[in-house]
Amino acid sequence: MPELAGRDRTTPASLPIEQRRFVFFDAVARVLARAAQNRPLMVLFEDLHWADSASLRLLEHRAYELVSAPVLLVATCREEPPGGDPVAHRTLSILRRQERCEPVNLSGLAADEVSDLVQRIVGRPLPQLAQQLRERTEGIPL
């Protein structure tokens, strides 16, 4: 990371894993805060429902450390049924308690919107295809 040039970028291996992780998370926060000094910055964490625990912990740390910096953290995740990944549920719970956290629920397209989209892409109406797509994707246009 060129932003950290001139600093000792090594973390002693003798430190416990949690301390090494904190040093790394703190370095990421400094880099993002420094980058945001020139212009506001947006960082996207996509598909939290697939994220590993280290990535989720990094997001939690960033949410606390970057409160005063002009950094917008955007995290996306699908609604999961109860009993899903407990680490992701913990992270979402922590984020929702943040004063500046604003959850936005997005739903899939309605049946007529899927039909319109299919017609625009294909160039003609295909009602059966539109219905199948709506059923398989719940209208989520990914």
Residue type, position 6, single letter: G
Query: Considering the entire predicted model, what is its pTM?
Result: 0.62
Rounded Cα–Cα distance for residues 81 and 76 (Å): 16
Rounded Cα–Cα distance for residues 135 and 62 (Å): 37
pLDDT band at 6 (very low <50, low <70, confident <90, very high): very low
Helix (H) or strand (E) segment spanning residue 54:
helix 53-65
Q: What are phi and psi of 72, to 5 degrees?
A: -100, 120
Q: Are 35 and 72 in contact (CB under 8 A)?
A: no
What confidence tens digit (pLDDT) does each residue in 68-80 have?
Answer: 788 888 888 877 6
Q: What are phi and psi of 81, to 5 degrees?
A: -65, 155
Is residue 8 predicted with pLDDT exceeding 70? no
pLDDT band at 128 (very low <50, low <70, confident <90, very high): very high
